[in-house]
Amino acid sequence: MSPRTVVRPVAVVGAGVIGRSWALVFLRAGCPTALFDSDGAQLERAAAWIRSQQDGPWRPRVCDSLPQAMEGAAYVQECGPERLALKQELFAALDGAASPDTVLASSTSAFDMSDIARDVEHPQRCVVAHPVNPPHIVPVVEVLGGQLTAPAVVQDTLQFLRGVGQSPVLLKKHIHGFVLNRLQFALVREAMHLLDAGVADVEAIDTVVREGLGLRWALLGPFAVADANNDDGARAYFGGYVDWFIDLMNQLGPTPALDKAFIERIARELDDARGSTSREQVRGWRDRMVVEIRRLKAENPLHEEQEQRL
Ligand code: NAD
C-alpha cells in the first residue's frame, strides 16, 4: 500500500470528519499539508487527532485564516458542510485566494461542480473529488468535473490522488448520488424491502452480504463477478439468463416508507445483534480489517497491471 507519491503542498479546508482524514492521507504521502477550519475548536481537535495517529509524527500546518492556508498550495481539498450556498461562497473565496494554477477539489457527496463553481472566476480548475468515509482507510474517490472544468485538471486530479495512495475513478458526468451511493442505495432499498416483506430479518440480510456478496465484491466488482461466474464469461452469464434476470429485476422492491416504526425495528434488531459490543469497538474492528484486506490485496495482486494500480 505504499503510495507512489507525487509530493505537492496541499491545503485542506474544513477539518471535520472528512477533512481531518484527508489531511492524514496527504501527510502520510509526504505532502506538506495546511489545515484550516472556520471553527477554531474544531481545528484544534482535528490537529490533535492527526497528531495522535500511531503510524507517524504527522503535523499539519494549522492555519487560522483561509489566505494563510492557501499560501503555496498546489492542491486544495474542500471539506466544508454539505450546503450548496456555503460551498459556492467557499469556492469563490478559494478561487480568490489561491494562485491561478492551484487545483480546487470538493469532497461534496451530491452537488454538481457546475453549480458549486457558479460564481467562480476560474471554474476550469474546480473539480469534485468525492471520498468514502474515512478516506485514510477506504481509498476510492469519485472524480468528475463540471461543465467548465478543464479535462487536464480532471486527469491531473486522478493522477495526484493515485500518487497519494487513493484509488480514484473517473465519472464521465454528474448524476445525483454519483456511483457509490447509487449502488449502495440500490442494495439498501432491496434489503429494506426484504425486511418489510417478512422474507428475512436484519441479521440474516447482513449475513448474506457479509459472508456472501461482500467477500467477492472486495476483490471483483459486480461485472467482473459475473464474468468469473461462467466458464464462458459475462457474455454467457448475462446472455444465457436474460429472461430470468429481467423477471427478477422487475420484481425488486419499491422505495420503502422509512417511517419511524420501521427505522426503530431496524435499530432494535441491530442493537440485539451487536449485544454488549460497543459501536466504537465495531468501528475500530471494521477499520483494522479494511486495512488488513487492503494489505492482503496489495501483496497478492491478480496480475502485473493491477499491481501497478495498487
Ligand atoms: P463536518 O460537518 O464534520 O465538517 C465540516 C467542517 O467544515 C466543520 O468543522 C466546520 O466548522 C467547517 N466549516 C464550516 N464552514 C467553513 C468555512 N467557511 N471555511 C472552513 N471551514 C468551514 O462534515 P464532514 O462529514 O466532514 O463532510 C465534509 C464534506 O465531505 C461534505 O461535503 C460531505 O458531504 C462530504 N462527505 C462526507 C462524508 C461522510 O460520511 N461524513 C463522506 C463523503 C463525503
Banded model confidence at residue 2, pLDDT cuts 50, 70, 90? very low
**What pLDDT digit, counting tens, does each position of 200-226 carry?**
999 999 999 999 999 999 999 999 999
Mean pLDDT of 279-288: 96
Atom number of ligand 1 nearest to Cα 110: 34
> What CATH number does the domain located at 10-170 have?
3.40.50.720
How far is it, in rounded angstroms, from Cα 136 to Cα 121?
32
CB of 14 closer than 6 angstroms to any ligand 1 atom: yes
How far is it, in rounded angstroms, from Cα 148 to Cα 177?
20
Comparing CA positions, the residue from 207, 206, 215 lying closest to residue 266 is: 206
**What pLDDT digit, counting tens, does each position of 138-168 carry?**
999 999 999 999 999 999 999 999 999 999 9
Bridge-based pairing of strands 61-63 and 126-131 is unpaired
For residue 299, the CA-to-ligand 1 centroid distance in Å is 34
Q: Where in the chain is the domain with CATH 3.40.50.720?
A: 10-170
4: its cell numbers: 507512489
Bridge-based pairing of strands 61-63 and 167-170 is unpaired
**What pLDDT digit, counting tens, does each position of 52-108 carry?**
998 888 999 999 999 999 999 999 999 999 999 999 999 999 999 999 999 999 999
Other C-beta atoms within 10 Å of 266: how many? 17
Q: Where in the chain is the domain with CATH 1.10.1040.10?
A: 178-275
Please determine, looking at this structure, whether the domain spanning 178-275 carries the CATH number 2.30.30.60. no
DSSP bridge pairs for 36: 13, 63
Atom number of ligand 1 nearest to Cα 19: 26
Tell me which of 107, 108, 142, 181 to substitute to probe ligand 1's pocket, judged by most ligand atoms within 8 Å of the beta carbon. Answer: 107
